[in-house]
Amino acid sequence: MKKLWTILSAFIIALSANAATVERPKLVIGLVVDQMRWDYLYYYYENLRSDGLRRLIDEGYSCENTMINYIPTVTAIGHISIYTGTVPALHGIAGNNFIENGKNMYCCGDETVSGVGSDSKAGKMSPRNLLANTIGDELRMATDFKSRVFGVALKDRAAIFPAGQAANAAYWYDNSVGHFITSTYYMDKLPDWVQRFNKENGTKPGEDQKMKAEGVAVTFRMAEAIIRNERLGMGKYTDMLTISISSTDAIAHEYGTRDELTKAAYMQLDKSLSSLLSFLDGRYGRDGYLLFLSADHGGSHNPIWQREHKLFADGWDGSGTMKGLNEVLQQKFGVAKLVKGNHGDFIYLNHAKIDSASISLDEVKNVAVEYLLKNPDFQFVVDCAKASTSTVPQLIRERIINGYNRLRSGDIVVIPRAQMFSWKFKDTYKGTTHSQWNPYDSHIPLVFFGWHVKHGATTAPTRIVDIAPTVCAMLHIQMPNSCIGEAISIAKD
């Protein structure tokens, strides 16, 4: 009887232990493709491999109506919003560049750190300007920092911000030395395996990897090298790797959405993703890892190309508009250069001059808005601090409010007609840009794949900020500390 009780007790203990185990995948991979329009999934579909991007569509769960719910739609903000589940008003990154306390800031610039692997300014980067936690930060805390989190991209901001503040490391490419680097925020010396990788995969100093399809391939090779050498997913705790593909953005900016070089970058993405998925299948099993694919923003078609097909596209004169606005404000208030400038459609006033002249900031903004509204290129002109009471369509109003950080954003935003940017272009211009609320910039792909993900698709409205709470819900960890998104139902029944 005693022996039977001992066996029964052991069985009960085993059952209790199993019941107490939180089931999680071995590895989480976030893959963000810079400037990937949602429709590229289908524009390129017939050219895709069955085991690459098409496999994600055919086997994963696609959220077909995922929108960015803020402006401006730019790289730094997109990457941060994906991983924090929140918007610039809360995570604090108001653009790739912004002005804080009158000082021009680069989003991840940090003069308190130094480069590791490079002595150039490209190494003086960290996530310290970020005001919110990421998925990776929450994963680290949930496991008492036993889970490990890494980020990789050619662009510094695309490697640093997704990995978060508590990341083990982030690696980005410094063209001036021709290889991947990091900063003293993470470590004092590049690991031996990174040094070996750089010797085998580096380029000539000064060569821009972002402008070639090879930039896609080397990013995936570095991602796989991180997995192998850091032995991600091989321990007791779930690890995370964030990957961002930067070449797709750089090439499109120069050559547009329909150039063969852009297509070549996406075909390389397809090929490299196929190789990565095969590697992950072999290492963790087909259901041992969770991967999601998304984009930081979309991109407009080239204006010359659109005009050739009788579609409207044009530009507004940013520098000329700022010059005219400064002249009007000087005539009214007797102070020169009350406008510091603009970052895209956001206009920054010179608060130091306004304060020293004892001028009412509201009065300056009112005069500025009145002047800008005379420009027929602008459908709306909004005082960002008063956007909630503006006579602007609700969807646009919400995106202005979400994108406005009172310490770092511009004071006034102009909403131009669709397909109008603050760009100047000649008849030979081939490129594109982005930043606006319109679907060409705000409609992004979102596909979940792998661990516990059901196959299917939804056209129900989803948002970029819903990605982080979805992943966190699947991992049974707390969502990031400033998250405003809602989890999407993607798990198998």
Say if CB 453 and CB 61 are below 8 A apart.
yes
Nearest to 74 by CA among 435, 429, 490: 435
3-state secondary structure at position 339: strand
The structure tokens listed for 244 are: 């961002």
Going from the C-alpha of 222 to that of each of 1, 195, 230, the distances in angstroms are 60, 12, 12
Catalytically active residues are 75
| CA-based radius of gyration for the chain | 24
d(Cα 481, Cα 24) in Å, to the nearest integer?
21
3-class state of residue 156 by DSSP: helix
Would you give the DSSP letter of residue 257? S
The closest of 292, 296, 301, 256 to 443, measured between CA atoms, is 296
Cα dihedral 254, 259, 260, 266, rounded to 10, equals 80
Q: Are 261 and 255 in contact (CB under 8 A)?
A: yes
Rounded Cα distance between 210 and 174, Å, is: 11
Q: Are 39 and 299 in contact (CB under 8 A)?
A: no
- End-to-end CA separation in angstroms for the chain: 42
Task: Give the tokens for residue 36.
Answer: 């990937």
Q: Is the bond leading into 416 cis (omega within 30 degrees of zero)? A: no
Instruction: Count the residues in the chain.
Output: 493
DSSP state of 84: H
Q: And the tokens for 394?
A: 């609700």
